[in-house]
Every structure is written in C-alpha cells, then in structure tokens.
Amino acid sequence: MKNNRKYCQNLRFLNILYLGILLFANQCNFPSLDRVPLLDLLALRSTICLANPNDSICRSNLSTPDITSPTIAFTTPTNLATNVPICTGTPCRARVVFQFSESMDTSIQPMGGFFTWNSLSFESTPVQITYVWSTTTFPNDTFTMSFSWIWFPENQRIQIMSDAVNWKDLAGNTLNANINLEFTTGYINQSYAISDTEQINCYDDTNLSTCPAITATFPRQDGIMINTPLARNYTAPTLVNVSDYITTDLVSGLVWTSCNLGQTGPTCGGAPTIYSWANAMNACASYNSANAGSGYANRTDWRLPTRWEVHSLPNFVTFGPSMNLTAFPNPTTNSVLTLSGTSSFNTVYLLQGNVGIMTTALKSAASFIVRCVSSPTPIVTKNYQDLGDGTIRDMNSNLRWDKCTLGLSGPTCSIGTGTLLTWGAALNACSAIGPEWRLPNYNELGSLIDNRFSLPAIDPTFFPNTISAAYWTSTSAPGTTANAWTINMTNGTTQGTPKGGASARARCVRNHP
C-alpha cells in the first residue's frame, strides 16, 4: 500500500487524479474518467510498469479498448466500376452491398443520398431504398441496399453518398471516411421468343397491293410470311383483384399493364399521366406496394421496360397508334418510355406510339407516358451457335442467320463490300439464297440488337464486321406505304425509309434448319 500511496501523491501532483480509478483498481478515489483519452491511460500504465514491473497495476488484467474506426472492406459494385449488371441475385434485383471490417451498430439508421448523371453533373434522384444487415465474416458486417426500381436503369452513371458519422461500430467509433460510391450500369443480356409483327397486307415499293400478285417481284415480304417466326398471342385485358388489368404476351411471357398509367378499366378510359424520367421509374415501382403490399395484380416486380421489351409491342397493321388495340385498348400515340439509356447518359430510348418506331429523347423531358412490365424469371440470355457454314443459329428463337452482311464474306466477313440496296432488291437477294431464306421482319432483325456492344450494337463474335448503318426489314410502314422499316445497327433505333432508294443494307434469315 505504501507504493500505491506514493503513486497517488504523484498523480495528484500531476493534476491527473482521474486516472487512478482505472490504473489502481479503486485503491484511490478520483473523479470521472469520461474525458480521459484512452491512449493516455495506457501510456501512463506503461510508464509506471517500466519503473516498477512488480507493481500491482502491472499484474492487473486491463483489456485494450476498441478505438479503431471501422472501414469498408469491399463494395459490390466496386467504386468507378463500369458495365455493372442492372440486377443481381435471385430474383434479379437492383442491389448495392457494403462489407465492413467489423461488426456494425445496426440500431443506427444510415442516411445518404442517391444521384444519377444528367450529362453535366450528378443530381439527386428520388428512389425508395430498403436495408438489410447480414453476416459475412463478423456478425452484422454486411449491409445490402435494395432499390424499389427493381432494376437499375441501363447505361446510367449512379452515385451513392453518405457521411461517415452515419455509420458506427459496436464501440461507437465512426466510419473512417465518408462513403462516395460511383458506378456505371451496363445493358442486360436479354432474349425472348420472337413473335410475328401481325402485318397481313402486302406492298410494292410505293403502294398497298395484293399478296398473290406481288409475290414474284417483292417476294417473302412480311405480309406474305404470316405468323413468322411465331404467331403473336396476347390475352385480352384480364381483371385481377378489384380493378387491376393486365395483358400477357403468351409468346415472350412478358406481363404488361393493359393501360398506360393514369388510365383505368377494361377499356383504359381517361388520359394517361405524363411523367419525367425519374418519376416514371418510381411510378412503376409504386405498383409493387399496391393492394396493401401484395402488388398490382398480385405482382411485386413491376418496373419500367427495357428497349428490347418495348420493341416487341408495336404491330404493323394499324397506324396512329401502332398497337394491338384488343390487347392494349386506347393506347394513345404518345411515346412509351424505357429504362434504357443511350451512350450520352442524358437521353433514353422510347417507343413512338404513333408509328411504332424506336427513337431517343432527352431524359430531362417531362413528357413521357408509362406502361409497366413484369418479366418471367429466370432471365433468358442471348445464345448463338456458329454452324461453321457461314450461318449463325439463335438457340432461343431457332432462327438461322447469315453471319455476314450481304456483299461481305469470309470467316470474319472482311471480304467484299456491304451492298447498299433498295427494299425490293434486298427482298430478292435474300430470297435468291435458297428455300425459306428471306429478309427478316421488324421483330426478327430487332432481336439481334444488343446494346452491350456499340458501333455496331450487335455481338461481334457471331456477326463480325457488321456496318453501323441502316439495315432493311421486310416490314412496310402502314402509314406511309412507300416506306419500309429499317433498323440502325449503330444503336438499334428504327425509322421508315423510302423503299426506292438504295440506302440500306441487308442480313438474311430463315427458320432453322
């Protein structure tokens, strides 16, 4: 006790009496230690023990306190990652995962911001986020954010920010640095069975004609090839619950809201609501919490459709609007928005409802109508097989394609020149290859578009040296009979092109085998 009293006297003299409680195990009565730096306590203990190793304080079991800030071990996706999948896991959902270096305090509700790029800067974007803590290495060291959009928008720069003070470990230490996670999403690898365009009329290069009379000069055009490759088959608007109407594409498996958002009833009465891009994303997401959480029509995976999905909607019998009016009553002629962004980040793909073409518009425009989609799971991905004879088989649609653009040949399609043709010349050139060979219709050619690739937007492994330019389809434009639809292989946009001009190229197709 004599040595202990001596130490107490020294501590009082140094005006750090409050250290005694911890260092001398209650042998001296000192004030509170609330404001004592823990490192100072340990340093003083080390000094005392160096001078007198046999002192009782040196034999006491004092554990080292946790004063280390937690860190982020890794994130999924990683910071500045590109081509990030728009959904992960089963079911496939928009998620971001943070794993920390230790167990975290889950009683604290993390706060932060979600931002998307508008071509000039990041801007705050409303979205509902749910959080789940789980265990990877330590209890509650993994934090998963799930987004109400179901899928992230395609080709979009995204930023997630949160201050370090919003995150603490079990000892109360704050995160070592603010969170600033930035990544860019890619395009989904997506494929569905392909249906016919429903075009039943035949055309020459300027006017509507009769199919038997036109067969010789404009062969195997869309109106002749009925139900090719598969007959289109929609359900009529189907009532689920009290007032939810859905239309199912029985070929692709896609389930659509029968009406544009804002319209109601079996005939889709009323005017559609006009949305901005971000509000459109959230409008579809809100359908998942409808009916007390059971979802619109008992589905909880409603989202904005992709470019590929919207591409499948038009039919080419009607004009203004170009939609199946039985399956989708009162569709209006406005443009239907997609979640697919273009390479410029500030524009998005949309379907121009009046004529059925795919085009682009500024994301900032508040002029979009919305039709939501629910897709089957699991997602079917594109699957091609090189048959080794200059043709490529689509294993999903069972279509057999020319590997090369007409006019090109060789293993890498590098011999020759891609030939510019009139519409009639393209029809005849494909038909001349052999039985069943034809110029593809709008839906068939559109199935090759793959925005994971650019300039051109097609898989270069199976379709090398494709030219980033317009390619003919066999589908005429009902509203302007002197035009046929072309698809631009640069990015998948479509337009009506005068049939008489040698202004587009061709790739031929047939059913396999």
Final residue of a structural domain among 185, 209, 237? 185
Average pLDDT, integer, range 423-451: 97
Residues 453 and 505 in one domain: yes
Distances (CA, A) of 63 to 22, 146, 174: 11, 39, 21
What is the total count of domains within the chain? Answer: 3
| 54/291: higher pLDDT | 291
Give the pLDDT score at 344.
Answer: 78
Q: Is 20 among the domain residues?
A: yes
Q: Is 246 among the domain residues?
A: no
Residues 122 and 178 in one domain: yes
Residues 124 and 170 in one domain: yes
User: Where residue 57 falls among pLDDT bands split at 50, 70, 90?
Assistant: low
For residue 105, pLDDT over 50 is answered with: yes
| 101/65: higher pLDDT | 101
User: Where residue 43 falls among pLDDT bands split at 50, 70, 90?
Assistant: low
The secondary structure of residue 403, as a DSSP letter, is S
Most confident of 64-73, 360-369, 372-381, 397-406: 397-406
Residues 397 and 496 in one domain: yes
Lowest-confidence region among 48-52, 306-310, 344-348: 48-52
Q: Is 261 among the domain residues?
A: no
Residues 137 and 110 in one domain: yes
Final residue of a structural domain among 185, 218, 251? 185
Q: Indicate the residue type of 454.
A: S
Lowest-confidence region among 2-16, 146-160, 216-230, 317-331: 2-16
User: Where residue 36 falls among pLDDT bands split at 50, 70, 90?
Assistant: very low
Contact 463, 448 (CB under 8 A): yes
Give the pLDDT score at 235.
Answer: 96
Q: What is the largest CA-CA distance in the chain?
A: 121
Give the pLDDT score at 23.
Answer: 40
Give the pLDDT score at 41.
Answer: 56
The CATH number covering residue 459 comes to 3.10.100.10
User: Where residue 212 falls among pLDDT bands split at 50, 70, 90?
Assistant: confident
For residue 192, pLDDT over 60 is answered with: yes
| 125/43: higher pLDDT | 125
Give the pLDDT score at 26.
Answer: 39
The secondary structure of residue 176, as a DSSP letter, is S
Residues of the chain with pLDDT > 90, as a percent, come to 71
For residue 32, pLDDT over 50 is answered with: no
Give the pLDDT score at 262.
Answer: 96
- In three-state secondary structure terms, 181 is strand
Residues 111 and 48 in one domain: no
For residue 62, pLDDT over 70 is answered with: no
For residue 304, pLDDT over 90 is answered with: yes
Q: Is 24 among the domain residues?
A: yes
Residues 13 and 104 in one domain: no
Q: Round to whole Å and give the CA distance between 474 and 429.
A: 12
For residue 271, pLDDT over 90 is answered with: yes
Residues 53 and 103 in one domain: no
User: Where residue 479 falls among pLDDT bands split at 50, 70, 90?
Assistant: confident
For residue 279, pLDDT over 60 is answered with: yes
Average pLDDT, integer, range 252-281: 94
Q: Is 106 among the domain residues?
A: yes
Q: Which of 4, 80, 91 is nearest to 48 (CA)?
A: 4
| 42/74: higher pLDDT | 74
- Residue numbers of the domain that contains 8: 2-59
User: Do strands 255-257 and 373-374 pair parallel, antiparallel, or not at all (unpaired)?
Assistant: antiparallel
User: Where residue 2 falls among pLDDT bands split at 50, 70, 90?
Assistant: very low
For residue 17, pLDDT over 70 is answered with: no
Residues 130 and 171 in one domain: yes
User: Where residue 404 falls among pLDDT bands split at 50, 70, 90?
Assistant: very high
Give the pLDDT score at 69.
Answer: 97
For residue 103, pLDDT over 80 is answered with: yes
Average pLDDT, integer, range 108-122: 87
Q: Is 431 among the domain residues?
A: yes
The CATH number covering residue 144 comes to 2.60.40.1220
Write down the mean pLDDT value for the chain.
88
Give the pLDDT score at 182.
Answer: 98
pTM: 0.85
pLDDT in tens, 216-232: 999 999 999 999 999 99
**Looking up tokens 């003083």, which residue turns up?**
44
For residue 13, pLDDT over 90 is answered with: no
Residues 132 and 176 in one domain: yes
User: Where residue 157 falls among pLDDT bands split at 50, 70, 90?
Assistant: very high
Q: What is the DSSP secondary-structure string of 321-339?
A: S-S-TTTSSS--SSEEEEE
Average pLDDT, integer, range 294-321: 92
Q: Which of 179, 163, 168 is nearest to 102 (CA)?
A: 168
Residues 124 and 36 in one domain: no
Residue 8 is inside which H or E element, if any?
Answer: helix 2-13
Final residue of a structural domain among 138, 159, 185? 185
Q: Round to whole Å and give the CA distance between 7 and 2.
A: 9
| 444/377: higher pLDDT | 444
Q: Is 168 among the domain residues?
A: yes
Residues 95 and 42 in one domain: no
Give the pLDDT score at 259.
Answer: 97
Q: Is 440 among the domain residues?
A: yes
